[in-house]
Structure 1
């Protein structure tokens, strides 16, 4: 699995920028995902406080950023790299790289995108990007939203993890799955069962049921369910969700069923909101999670 930090696009030396500039595309800031507004505010505030302190104290602030304290929270920390790729400070697990050049973690396939971000000049603007990185809390690779700003030859950053996808992302995956099945049912079902990343996005995955036979015919996370009786499926609390989903769909329509289920990303029992769509004799479903009861 490629574990790539989009912020590393900012770390390459200026000589590399010039070589790639002609082919680089514009990199736009990533908007905050709905439901993560509080986490975004906390991370951005942490970065703003770090920037203010650095402007006041200079390089001695780097040591402060690398300690547990005012520039770390339970989930967030500040880190700093220079434009040559050397880690200068970190209040998180990346502290082990302080003093080392970390550009070796770059993936060659993404260097054009990295070069595009390097074209952003130093300014008072705080930018943001998303990438996938190991969460030091649960030791799983998750989406991370990072706010960053460049001061001189240093890039300051702070971010938060997104272990749960949004309702909009779930709907998008459902729409994509329905379109794919409508175009090539046999091939799409095979791809779902092969855990094709197109049908398996972070904590979102597709499953498909034969409505007439009432059996799973594809599952994007647990292939052991393929061929089993969907009508007997129950939630972790014993809710008869298989029967409820079958009863919620008639004809070419959509529906939603909510229940308690294991989130594959967090490993916790969370509320799952499964979006349903029927297409022919198939019931296609994608569910997203929330920590609070709907």
Structure 2
């Protein structure tokens, strides 16, 4: 049996925009030479998969009762990472972290901070496929706020063994790579690219990164990877949470220089907090193409 059936990750949380303000969106800088780079696993992702493999082997060789070892054996804790286990019936069996308070409870109806029954999803996938991943927003013990979390899991008999981690925020370099990919796609086929950018589950949404496109003449959205419903909306309809006409300013800058970086405040759909966002943008065929990333500040 191949124990190391470790899942492919891609934090694909689609951006949910709240209606407390008419929304604006972000962008990111471009490096046209770095276009076809494959997914590069973060250190936390690699550690989580390694820890899961070790835990799965333990249960396979020692039996279901061995999940209790996850509660006390430091071998199954790696820094902030820990192993937990639940039965396919929904009973929470063990945890080496803060979720140990759930041991003995049924977690079938347990929800994340946005009401997603992620344990139920995990069980469904484990029963059907034997392994997988689930993404949800969970209270990070560091700041007690809901943060995006990705959990890898594998079924061993009637037990599901799992390790979750909090993905790192997207970086400037990752935003630039995504913008470079978007620019290449626009050159190859503009309409096909716009359709792909509007797919919230597509390949141009990478965690908290996504592409948006605006027509330079009309000032309207042609594509938006987090909220396609913004397509057709005009720049002058949209303000930032601090009431600044950010898209109007962005279009003005783009007309002046054709490429650059624009910084503003915006609601991060993953943390649900207003944060500083840096947007890299470029102009091609009178279209502004942009990608942005968030920076956590002390106030957020």
Shift of 1:175: 1.1
Gaps of 5+ in 2: 8-38, 56-62, 87-91, 107-122, 140-144, 154-160
Which whole-Å CA distance do the structure 1 matches of 2:150 and 2:171 have between them? 12
Report the equivalent of 1:263: 268
Shift of 1:252: 7.3
Report the equivalent of 1:32: 43
Is 2:234 the counterpart of 1:229? yes
Shift of 1:208: 0.5
Which of 4, 9, 17 in structure 1 is aligned with 2:5? 9
Pairs within 5 Å for 1:5-154: 9=5, 30-32=41-43, 63=68, 65-66=70-71, 76-79=81-84, 89-91=94-96, 92=99, 105=126, 133-137=135-139, 142-143=149-150
Contact 2:148–2:271 (8 Å) recurs in 1: no
Is 2:213 the counterpart of 1:205? no
> SS in structure 1 opposite 2:195?
helix
1:32-73 CA distances to partner (integer Å, 9 max, x unpaired)? 38xx9xxx99x9xxx8xxx9xxxxxxx999647437xxx989
- How many pairs does the alignment contain? 219
Contact 2:135–2:149 (8 Å) recurs in 1: yes
Report the equivalent of 1:218: 223
Which of 237, 241, 244 in structure 2 is aligned with 1:239? 244
Shift of 1:157: 8.5
Report the equivalent of 1:169: 174
Shift of 1:233: 2.7
Identify which of structures 1 and 2 has the higher relative contact order when contacts are C-alpha pairs closer than 8 Å and 6+ apart: 2
Bigger radius of gyration: 1
Shift of 1:30: 3.6
Which whole-Å CA distance do the structure 2 matches of 1:166 and 1:79 have between them? 29
Question: TM-score normalized by structure 2?
Answer: 0.55
Which whole-Å CA distance do the structure 2 matches of 1:252 and 1:279 have between them? 12
Which whole-Å CA distance do the structure 2 matches of 1:104 and 1:232 have between them? 42
Gaps of 5+ in 1: 1-6, 12-27, 52-58, 82-86, 115-130, 147-155
Q: Let me know the Cα RMSD of the aligned residues.
A: 4.9
Contact 1:8–1:103 (8 Å) recurs in 2: no
Bigger helix share: 1
Contact 2:151–2:162 (8 Å) recurs in 1: no
> SS in structure 1 opposite 2:138?
coil
Shift of 1:136: 3.2
Contact 2:138–2:148 (8 Å) recurs in 1: no
Question: TM-score normalized by structure 1?
Answer: 0.56
